[in-house]
A and B are shown apart, each in its own frame.
Chain A
Amino acid sequence: MNIINSVSNANKTSFKGCIIKRIAKTGEIGEALSIGCDFLGKAVIVPAVIMKVSKEPKEKKEYSAFKNPVAAVIQLALEVPVLLVGSKIIEKAADKGFFDKKNSDFSYNQKKFKEDFIKLLEELKLNNNLAQKIKEQGYSKNIASEFCDFIKTVNNKTTKDKLNLAFSKFEAAYKNQFHLKNRICFLFALVLTPLLCAIENYIHPKVMKKVYNYEHTHQKLVHNILKPDMKKFMANIGKKNK
Chain B
Amino acid sequence: MKIQKIVSDITNSNIIKQHIKRSSVDSKFLARTLLLTSVSKDVFAYALRVRNTLKNNLIEEDKKIYTAKMDAASGVATTISQLGAGFLVSSERFQNFFSDKFFKKLDGAELKNAKNALSAFSTLIIASVFAKRIITPYVACKMAQEKKKTK
Contact = CB atoms under 8 A, between A and B. Distances in A.
Contacts of A113: none
Interface string B75-118: 00000000000000000000000000011011001110110111
Given A46-B137, A54-B141, A37 B44 contact: no
A23 B129 contact: no
A36 to B, nearest CB: 9
B120 A190 contact: no
B150 interface: no
A23 B67 contact: no
Interface residues of A, number: 56
A197 B102 contact: no
Contacts of A55: 141, 145
A54 B74 CA distance: 13
Nearest to B12: A101
Main secondary structure of the interface of A (DSSP, over half): helix
Nearest to B69: A64
A189 B34 CA distance: 13
Contact of A29 (B9, B63, B103, B117): B117
B133 A42 contact: yes
A76 to B, nearest CB: 13
B15 to A, nearest CB: 12
A141 B124 CA distance: 21
Given A49-B138, A53-B138, A106-B17, A33 B24 contact: no
B120 A33 contact: yes
Nearest to A50: B137
A23 B110 CA distance: 9
Contacts of A238: none
Contacts of B9: 101
B12 A193 contact: no
B17 A29 contact: no
A98 interface: yes
A176 B17 CA distance: 9
Contacts of B103: 20, 24
A81 interface: no
Given A40-B129, A53-B137, A60 B44 contact: no
Main secondary structure of the interface of B (DSSP, over half): helix
Contact of B113 (A25, A37, A38): A25
A228 interface: no
B105 A63 contact: no
Nearest to A200: B49
Contacts of B37: 31, 34, 183, 186
A234 interface: no
A53 B141 contact: yes
Nearest to B120: A29
A143 interface: no
Contacts of B129: 37, 40-41, 45
A33 B124 CA distance: 8
Given A20-B103, A26-B117, A193-B48, A38 B38 contact: yes
Given A49-B134, A179-B20, A201 B53 contact: yes
Interface string B119-151: 011001100110011100110011001000000
8 residue pairs, one from A and one from B, having the closest CB atoms? A41-B133, A45-B133, A26-B117, A24-B114, A205-B58, A49-B137, A175-B24, A197-B48
Given A31-B37, A144-B109, A198-B52, 10 more contacts: A24-B106, A26-B113, A37-B129, A46-B133, A50-B70, A53-B142, A145-B110, A179-B23, A194-B48, A201-B56
